[in-house]
């Protein structure tokens, strides 16, 4: 209580960190970078690992190359300036109880001598080594022996840091503030904690920051993981309950219509496609809105399943909207659906910031088969892409006029199928009778966008204020079962885990540096295969109908590509063009290009104006280049297995044999998994085990703490958390009796998005 009287007596959990006496304005700004604003935030800034310095030893060669703690008296201390390297080396000599000497060394830390003076008894923790005949430690953790062990002699917490903020400073602050956690309301009731043998919140936080033992640390981590997963399940079940309480227009399943559509396909649907289509069409019959995720591996045929759902809704007289994360994918969907619906009387529009296009069917006679199943006419052309955005449209105002005209047609119900980007949910877009919204590659939308998409779907002006549209989301990222249980509790799930029978497995090979020339020669022969190019330049005779990708990793892991990445891609493009494939034409794609430039590159590649596309990892998921049969992935060891599988899915889009070569600088056993299987779900499970859920799912996307992510494979924990959440919501749907949970859920919802 004495320390609380001196330092924390006038503070509480919501005290701003900038108001703490030991937090300067400089530290306050740095803390804000980590989104730490209050005492509560700081107490929940949990360590991501621990240095084990529990073993205190007398100096001995038996302890070399081990992390240990040594206690002794300082006999000498000095700073040494090395002018050649412009370093200041601090050397402190410590004598242990047996008279043995230890030399501790720090670089450019002059201030250390202010605290480590001759005669002081100290604890030093670090890896023990031998410098000639003298025991030594480089950059050890240290503190005076008279103080309680905080930085040495224990399991020492290491925190997420940023420039200007060290774990040592964080430990110092957190230790003085931890007692305030005694006043923290506990999200988990006494009954739940007793049932699952969980610590109370104060004990858990104390043991997480300064664990007394490995056992208590693990028990605390289990408690926090249970709490976060409990809130995840509470949130997903609340979303599901709210969604199912709304109304939607029931759309009858016209079996004859769908059978006729399926018969027109140039391929046979897989059993998985048939099952998923049936599940979706049965959902559409219900008066409550569908909220289903269609999870299919790359190339598994999600588009056809979505098209069947769209056709059913349109044939019943309703509008359908399809949303993609990028203009490239939106335009590709536009072209695909125009082709799929070429025999039907369906007006299709493309609406993005750059494109406003309409596909108008021609007049034609109706066949008997289609007359029987609805007012759908055959024999219509492909899209009339009359209104591409270019400078002349923008300058003249024509582009704006085109948008106004298109919006008018949508609002009047003259457009049956509207395809676009997030431009579809802008306020000036209104529909006459929107009954189905399809969101493709939903994981590619930013966290903030995804958090709003479902609500915006509910709020969209669909022409009927009493109901909301059915919602179908799609992703080509195979989701392991444990993650789907944890994260997608609010969604019904349909899985496409079969590939079309005409698809040949992609032959994948890990390639060492000394074998790369052979692969270049193979690619040369592959590109020359197939029909001759019709391009009329002087090199067309050497180029055939097949194409290749070369993918480079990001140098810096960031949301946008750095200039370093662009330079690396540009240099590789130049090297391959000049020295490796001078007879071919190479395109270049990277994240610094403007959207229109990216799209131009992709269209040129699709139209065979480029034989090889050199790209950073921005190459679109879902982009369909049937002609591309070869892919090289440079420095493949830097990617996760699931991401490599996604890249690999850009080839093998036709009945031609395709190849993926993983160029690796290391002998990576991990990469061999891709040689063995093309099954994305098997690869996703392997990736989950190898890298853990945090890296697999992307902490940026989930917002969940590391401790929770590490426990996402614990199916039993998720099951228990779900049962407890369901029991509480069943008794108290509005959580009026559980204000602590309600408050925690609100804070949780602000930072976490669950599909």
> Are 521 and 481 contained in the same domain?
no
Residue that finishes a domain, picked among 677, 711, 741: 677
Q: Residue 538 pLDDT more than 50?
A: no
Q: Residue 642 pLDDT more than 60?
A: yes
pLDDT per position as a tens digit, 67-88: 999 999 999 999 988 877 788 8
> Are 484 and 370 contained in the same domain?
yes
What are the Cα distances from residue 663, in Å, to 380, 511, 517, 666? 46, 5, 11, 9
Asked if the structure places residue 191 within a domain, the reply is yes
Q: Would you state the pLDDT for residue 162?
A: 85
pLDDT per position as a tens digit, 353-372: 776 677 766 533 333 333 22
* Average pLDDT of the residues in 427-455: 69
Q: Would you state the pLDDT for residue 476?
A: 82
Instruction: Give the CATH number for residue 530.
Output: 3.40.50.300
652: region left, alpha or beta (phi > 0 left; psi from -120 to 50 alpha): left
Asked if the structure places residue 732 within a domain, the reply is no
Position 656 confidence tier, pLDDT thresholds 50, 70, 90: confident
* Average pLDDT of the residues in 40-59: 93
More confident residue, 689 or 192: 192
% pLDDT > 70, the chain: 82
Asked if the structure places residue 752 within a domain, the reply is no
> Are 288 and 422 contained in the same domain?
yes
More confident residue, 491 or 112: 112
* Average pLDDT of the residues in 536-560: 61
Asked if the structure places residue 250 within a domain, the reply is no
pLDDT per position as a tens digit, 317-364: 999 999 988 887 888 899 899 999 999 999 999 998 776 677 766 533
> Are 182 and 307 contained in the same domain?
no
Q: Report residue 213: phi and psi, to 5°.
A: -160, 165
* Average pLDDT of the residues in 200-213: 96
Residue that finishes a domain, picked among 677, 695, 716: 677
Q: Would you state the pLDDT for residue 374?
A: 32
- Segment among 275-279, 384-388, 518-522, 623-627 with least mean pLDDT: 384-388
> Are 379 and 471 contained in the same domain?
yes
Helix runs in 431-562, H state only: 447-459, 481-487, 516-527
Helix (H) or strand (E) holding 121: strand 121-127
Asked if the structure places residue 644 within a domain, the reply is yes
Q: Considering only CA atoms, which of 413, 316, 418, 408 is closest in space to residue 358?
A: 418
% pLDDT > 90, the chain: 48
Position 61 confidence tier, pLDDT thresholds 50, 70, 90: very high
* Average pLDDT of the residues in 206-214: 96
> Are 73 and 201 contained in the same domain?
no
The pair of three-digit structure tokens given for residue 472, joined into one six-digit string: 């179908």
Q: Would you state the pLDDT for residue 620?
A: 61
Q: Residue 627 pLDDT more than 50?
A: yes
Q: Residue 195 pLDDT more than 60?
A: yes
Q: What angle separates helix 201-209 from helix 167-177, to the nearest 10 degrees?
A: 150
Asked if the structure places residue 232 within a domain, the reply is no
* Alpha-carbon Rg for the chain in angstroms: 31
Total structural domains in the chain? 4
pLDDT per position as a tens digit, 287-311: 999 989 898 888 888 999 999 999 9
Side-chain half-sphere of 319: how many Cα atoms within 13 Å? 27
pLDDT per position as a tens digit, 506-528: 999 999 999 999 999 999 999 98
> Are 88 and 189 contained in the same domain?
no
> Are 626 and 488 contained in the same domain?
no
pLDDT per position as a tens digit, 664-675: 988 778 899 899
Q: Would you state the pLDDT for residue 398?
A: 61
Q: Residue 442 pLDDT more than 70?
A: no
Instruction: Give the CATH number for residue 143.
Output: 2.40.50.140
> Are 101 and 28 contained in the same domain?
no
Q: Which residues contact 418 (CB under 8 A, 6 or more apart)?
A: 319, 320, 321, 322, 348, 349, 351, 410, 424, 431
Side-chain half-sphere of 220: how many Cα atoms within 13 Å? 20
Q: Residue 94 pLDDT more than 50?
A: yes
Asked if the structure places residue 740 within a domain, the reply is no
Q: Residue 537 pLDDT more than 70?
A: no
d(CA 650, CA 672): 19
Q: Would you state the pLDDT for residue 65?
A: 94
Q: Would you state the pLDDT for residue 629?
A: 93
> Are 317 and 416 contained in the same domain?
yes
> Are 537 and 641 contained in the same domain?
yes
Position 228 confidence tier, pLDDT thresholds 50, 70, 90: confident
Instruction: DSSP letter for 206, please.
Output: H
What are the Cα distances from residue 542, in Å, to 537, 582, 685? 11, 11, 43
Asked if the structure places residue 603 within a domain, the reply is yes
* Average pLDDT of the residues in 251-261: 95
> Are 90 and 185 contained in the same domain?
no
Q: Report residue 133: phi and psi, to 5°.
A: -110, 10
Q: Would you state the pLDDT for residue 751?
A: 62
Asked whether 629 and 658 are in contact (CB, 8 A), the reply is: yes
**10 Å Cβ neighbour count for 387?**
19
Residue that finishes a domain, picked among 496, 521, 556: 496
Q: What is the DSSP string of 693-706?
A: HHHHH-HHHH---H
Beta strand 586-589 with 612-616 is parallel
Q: Using the CB atoms, write b or e for 593-614: b if 16+ within 10 Å.
A: beeeebbebbeebbebebbbbb
Q: Would you state the pLDDT for residue 443?
A: 54
The pair of three-digit structure tokens given for residue 159, joined into one six-digit string: 């925190």
Name 144's bridge partners. Answer: 122
Q: Would you state the pLDDT for residue 391?
A: 29
Domain that holds residue 587: 507-677
Please provide the average confidence, as pLDDT, over all residues in the chain.
Answer: 82
**10 Å Cβ neighbour count for 190?**
9
Q: Residue 557 pLDDT more than 50?
A: no
Q: Would you state the pLDDT for residue 638?
A: 85
């Amino acid at each position: 209580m004495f320390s609380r009287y001196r330092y924390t007596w006038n503070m509480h959990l919501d005290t701003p960190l900038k108001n703490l006496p030991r937090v300067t304005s400089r530290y306050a700004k740095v803390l804000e970078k980590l989104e730490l604003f209050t005492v509560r935030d700081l107490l929940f800034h949990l360590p991501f690992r621990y240095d084990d310095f529990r073993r205190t030893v007398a100096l001995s060669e038996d302890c070399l190359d081990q992390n240990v703690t040594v206690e002794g008296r300082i006999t000498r201390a000095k700073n040494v300036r090395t002018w050649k390297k412009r370093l200041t080396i601090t050397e402190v000599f410590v004598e242990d109880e047996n008279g043995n000497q230890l030399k501790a060394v720090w670089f450019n830390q002059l201030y250390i001598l202010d605290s480590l003076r001759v005669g002081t008894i100290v604890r030093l923790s670090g890896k023990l080594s031998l410098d000639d005949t003298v025991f030594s430690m480089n950059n050890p953790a240290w503190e005076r022996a008279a103080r309680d062990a905080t930085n040495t002699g224990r399991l020492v917490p290491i925190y997420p840091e940023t420039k200007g903020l060290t774990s040592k400073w964080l430990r110092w602050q957190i230790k003085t503030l931890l007692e305030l956690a005694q006043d923290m309301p506990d999200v988990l009731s006494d009954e739940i904690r007793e049932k699952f043998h969980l610590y109370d919140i104060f004990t858990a936080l104390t043991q997480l920051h300064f664990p007394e033992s490995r056992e208590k640390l693990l028990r605390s981590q289990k408690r926090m993981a249970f709490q976060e997963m409990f809130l995840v399940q509470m949130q997903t079940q609340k979303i599901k309950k709210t969604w199912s309480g709304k109304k939607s227009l029931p759309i009858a399943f016209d079996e004859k219509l769908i059978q006729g559509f399926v018969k027109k396909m140039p391929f046979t649907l897989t059993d998985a496609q048939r099952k998923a289509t049936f599940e979706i069409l049965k959902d559409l019959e219900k008066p409550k809105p569908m909220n289903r995720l269609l999870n299919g591996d790359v190339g598994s045929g999600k588009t056809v399943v979505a098209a069947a759902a769209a056709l059913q809704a349109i044939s019943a007289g309703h509008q359908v909207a399809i949303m993609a994360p990028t203009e490239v994918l939106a335009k590709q969907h536009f072209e695909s659906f125009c082709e799929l619906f070429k025999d039907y009387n369906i007006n299709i529009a493309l609406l993005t910031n750059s494109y406003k296009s309409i596909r108008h069917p021609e007049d034609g006679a109706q066949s008997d088969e289609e007359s029987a199943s609805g007012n759908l006419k055959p024999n219509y052309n492909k899209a009339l892409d009359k209104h591409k955005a270019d400078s002349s449209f923008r300058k003249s105002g024509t582009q704006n006029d085109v948008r106004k005209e298109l919006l008018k047609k949508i609002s009047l119900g003259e457009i049956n199928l509207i395809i676009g980007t997030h431009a579809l949910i802008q306020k000036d877009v209104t529909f006459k009778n929107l009954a189905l919204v399809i969101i493709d590659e939903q994981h590619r939308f930013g966290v903030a966008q995804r958090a709003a998409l479902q609500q915006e779907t509910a709020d969209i002006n669909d022409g009927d204020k009493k109901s909301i549209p059915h919602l179908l989301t799609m992703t080509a990222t195979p989701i392991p079962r444990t993650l789907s249980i944890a994260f997608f509790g609010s969604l019904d799930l349909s899985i496409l885990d079969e590939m079309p029978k005409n698809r040949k497995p992609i032959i994948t090979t890990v390639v060492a540096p000394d074998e790369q020339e052979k692969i270049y020669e193979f690619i040369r022969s592959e590109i020359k295969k197939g029909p001759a190019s019709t391009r009329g330049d002087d090199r067309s005779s050497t180029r055939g109908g097949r194409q290749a990708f070369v993918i480079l990793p990001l140098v810096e892991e960031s949301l946008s590509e750095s200039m370093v990445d662009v330079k690396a891609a540009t240099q590789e493009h130049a090297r391959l063009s000049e020295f490796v494939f001078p007879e071919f034409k190479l395109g270049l794609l990277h994240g610094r290009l403007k959207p229109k430039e990216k799209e131009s590159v992709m269209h040129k590649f699709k139209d065979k104006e480029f034989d090889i596309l050199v790209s950073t990892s921005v190459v679109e998921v879902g982009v369909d280049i049937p002609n591309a049969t070869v892919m090289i992935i440079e420095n493949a060891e830097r990617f996760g297995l699931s991401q490599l599988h996604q890249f690999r899915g850009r080839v093998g889009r036709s009945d031609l044999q395709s190849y993926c070569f993983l160029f690796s600088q290391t002998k990576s056993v991990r990469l061999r998994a891709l040689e063995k299987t093309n099954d994305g779900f098997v690869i996703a499970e392997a990736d989950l085990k190898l890298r853990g859920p945090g890296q697999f799912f992307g902490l940026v996307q989930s917002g969940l703490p590391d401790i929770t992510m590490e426990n996402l494979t614990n199916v039993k924990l998720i099951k228990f958390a779900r049962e407890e959440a369901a029991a509480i919501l069943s008794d108290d749907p509005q959580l009026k009796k559980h204000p602590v949970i309600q408050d925690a859920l609100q804070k949780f919802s602000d930072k976490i998005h669950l599909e």
